[in-house]
Chains A and B, each alone.
Chain A
């Protein structure tokens, strides 16, 4: 049966436009003088918004398959596309100042960002393993380069090496799983896997190995716990905006893929084989406990955020584990959690970037007295961390409430208990950061200890009042763009915490598109 590979091709217009614009950014970069590279950031933001508009205008009614079912354009994909493009805008807002001051060749940075977003979009739309894999690699390859972007910084290089080696290893494991699935089934479509798992009779061990290795490969990409060891190093060594992007974008994309994979390949077989729920549940419990416990010992902010993000992956995985019980509820709460997590993290990272751009410091102890020096930055970080910890009013509470309720409803009461316990642990280290900002005195320049030496060196450049009576070394204002990012982010975080209904309505429509039929 011949497949019409050009049918409905126009539905991919957003992706084609995004590809073209990414190449355009690379090309324009060649002709722009060094002083005008910021234009590329503007061009990238304009292209992301344009693609967003095109994607919304060209959305089909219902879901439409392309390339004989390799890719599907539906409301789930559309929702994640808009989400990823918005993340891209946020990350560009974070990187403009950082790139200008601290990165070489920053023009290509924006092009790579656009390509990685293209990869993320395709991940949310693919319903076949090889397509999903190629999309994942497009994302990963861009990220490898972006993590190692600090050309002359040994730490950035080291993060890049660790990330690419573990990333390539996980790809190899995933592909080996794919090859076994192909050998067992003769197909790599998600639906084909579900058909075989759900059909009566013994399932070939080759297929078991394949599915297991596939999940392991995804575990690496999600940084779920036994496969998380690359994450803290990659986060710490990467340039700050890239750290934010790793924490927000690559996680969200990996979860979009995981959601669709589970919805189409694994959940339909739940009646015949539901042990997978327990496997994922244990994975989730270990991930949230270990991520949050190890975070207690961290001194570096980026590393703290890395472990905290591992903990958050654990919560979202708990939602994946109950997909088989009440699919619509679980999928909805996972997606909502991802959105909230992304916005909240964006606020925190905008605050940390604002601080880092002015001082070059990223240790938790360096934040001492920030509330006196830059109250707004401190407040943004504080509210972001409160939201991550899941305190009421802020979005994090609503998201965790929905998610944990879904987990408990799905028959995993113990997992919901572990999740609440893990949230309590996380509150401790988030409050440590707050203690530094609001209670600790800022480093006193009069008797500057050794570890604060670099801090004073930086401060001297900005204010000469160091040796006078006021013990608060002034910190220059953060850039307008970062302040605006924090402001908008804070508004969204509060809004989603108080009135999440409109977003939940959209998410309902999105996750309805992938509800398994069986």
Chain B
């Protein structure tokens, strides 16, 4: 059986890649996609942990898989909202490059 740690490392790697994407990407759309990667890292963590905890006595009523479904739902809503706002920005300013979104600073 693959140890739980491997899944957690996979999750951490995915989370790190997503975080790097948030910092390095210049397009608002790709930043949102990077955040999605981070949320999927969360899901990997949750589902792996849920299936490992299942055998131990520590399995609580609140299941990791249920949490993962909540995370997916919230993430979908978040992306919808984010793209709506980004679309507004595009209509008004003609760009979604976060370097050029600089009306507000200091």
A residues sitting closer than 8 Å to B (CB atoms) are 3, 68, 70, 128, 130, 133-134, 137, 141, 144-145, 148, 151-155, 157-162, 164-165, 168-169, 171-173, 175-176, 178-180, 182-183, 185-189, 192, 206, 232-233, 236-237, 297, 303
Question: Which among B18, B74, B88 is the interface contact of A134 at CB below 8 angstroms?
Answer: B74
Whether A164 and B81, one on each chain, are in contact in the complex, defined by CB atoms closer than 8 angstroms, is: yes
Chain A nearest CB: distance from B76 CB in Å? Answer: 12
A317 and B62 CA atoms in complex are apart in Å by 31
Chain A nearest CB: distance from B27 CB in Å? Answer: 11
A158 and B91 CA atoms in complex are apart in Å by 12
Specify which chain A residues have a CB less than 8 angstroms from the CB of B4 in the assembled complex: 183
A110 and B87 CA atoms in complex are apart in Å by 23
Chain B nearest CB: distance from A351 CB in Å? Answer: 23
Whether B15 and A176, one on each chain, are in contact in the complex, defined by CB atoms closer than 8 angstroms, is: yes
Whether B85 and A192, one on each chain, are in contact in the complex, defined by CB atoms closer than 8 angstroms, is: no
A218 and B86 CA atoms in complex are apart in Å by 25
Specify which chain B residues have a CB less than 8 angstroms from the CB of A155 in the assembled complex: 103-104
Whether A233 and B93, one on each chain, are in contact in the complex, defined by CB atoms closer than 8 angstroms, is: no
Whether B92 and A152, one on each chain, are in contact in the complex, defined by CB atoms closer than 8 angstroms, is: yes
A173 and B19 CA atoms in complex are apart in Å by 9
Known: A128-B62, A160-B88, A183-B8. A168 touches B42 (CB 8 A): no
- Check: B2 CB closer than 8 A to any chain A CB: no
Whether B62 and A130, one on each chain, are in contact in the complex, defined by CB atoms closer than 8 angstroms, is: yes
Specify which chain B residues have a CB less than 8 angstroms from the CB of A192 in the assembled complex: 60
What are 6 pairs between A and B in contact, CB < 8 Å?
A: A70-B62, A152-B92, A161-B85, A171-B74, A183-B4, A185-B58
Whether B62 and A161, one on each chain, are in contact in the complex, defined by CB atoms closer than 8 angstroms, is: no
Chain A nearest CB: distance from B7 CB in Å? Answer: 9
- Check: B10 CB closer than 8 A to any chain A CB: no
Specify which chain A residues have a CB less than 8 angstroms from the CB of B86 in the assembled complex: 161
Give the residue name and chain of the B residue nearest to A68 (CB).
Answer: B61
Question: Which among B53, B56, B85 is the interface contact of A157 at CB below 8 angstroms?
Answer: B85
Whether A172 and B49, one on each chain, are in contact in the complex, defined by CB atoms closer than 8 angstroms, is: no
A193 and B35 CA atoms in complex are apart in Å by 27
Give the residue name and chain of the A residue nearest to B79 (CB).
Answer: A168
Specify which chain A residues have a CB less than 8 angstroms from the CB of B78 in the assembled complex: 137, 141, 164, 168, 171
A175 and B36 CA atoms in complex are apart in Å by 12
Specify which chain B residues have a CB less than 8 angstroms from the CB of A180 in the assembled complex: 8, 45
Specify which chain B residues have a CB less than 8 angstroms from the CB of A232 in the assembled complex: 104, 106
Whether A176 and B42, one on each chain, are in contact in the complex, defined by CB atoms closer than 8 angstroms, is: yes
Whether A187 and B81, one on each chain, are in contact in the complex, defined by CB atoms closer than 8 angstroms, is: no
- Binary interface profile of B, 65-103, with partner A (CB < 8 Å = 1, else 0)? 001001100100110011001101100110000100101
A137 and B15 CA atoms in complex are apart in Å by 20
A401 and B21 CA atoms in complex are apart in Å by 45
Specify which chain A residues have a CB less than 8 angstroms from the CB of B20 in the assembled complex: none
A233 and B89 CA atoms in complex are apart in Å by 15
Specify which chain A residues have a CB less than 8 angstroms from the CB of B15 in the assembled complex: 172, 176
A303 and B105 CA atoms in complex are apart in Å by 10
Whether A172 and B18, one on each chain, are in contact in the complex, defined by CB atoms closer than 8 angstroms, is: yes
Specify which chain B residues have a CB less than 8 angstroms from the CB of A152 in the assembled complex: 92
- Check: B28 CB closer than 8 A to any chain A CB: yes
A40 and B99 CA atoms in complex are apart in Å by 39
Whether B8 and A145, one on each chain, are in contact in the complex, defined by CB atoms closer than 8 angstroms, is: no
Whether A187 and B104, one on each chain, are in contact in the complex, defined by CB atoms closer than 8 angstroms, is: no
Whether A186 and B103, one on each chain, are in contact in the complex, defined by CB atoms closer than 8 angstroms, is: no
Specify which chain A residues have a CB less than 8 angstroms from the CB of B53 in the assembled complex: 183, 186
A203 and B9 CA atoms in complex are apart in Å by 19
Chain B nearest CB: distance from A240 CB in Å? Answer: 15
Give the residue name and chain of the B residue nearest to A192 (CB).
Answer: B60
Whether B62 and A148, one on each chain, are in contact in the complex, defined by CB atoms closer than 8 angstroms, is: no
Specify which chain B residues have a CB less than 8 angstroms from the CB of A144 in the assembled complex: 81-82, 85
Whether A186 and B82, one on each chain, are in contact in the complex, defined by CB atoms closer than 8 angstroms, is: no
A303 and B11 CA atoms in complex are apart in Å by 38
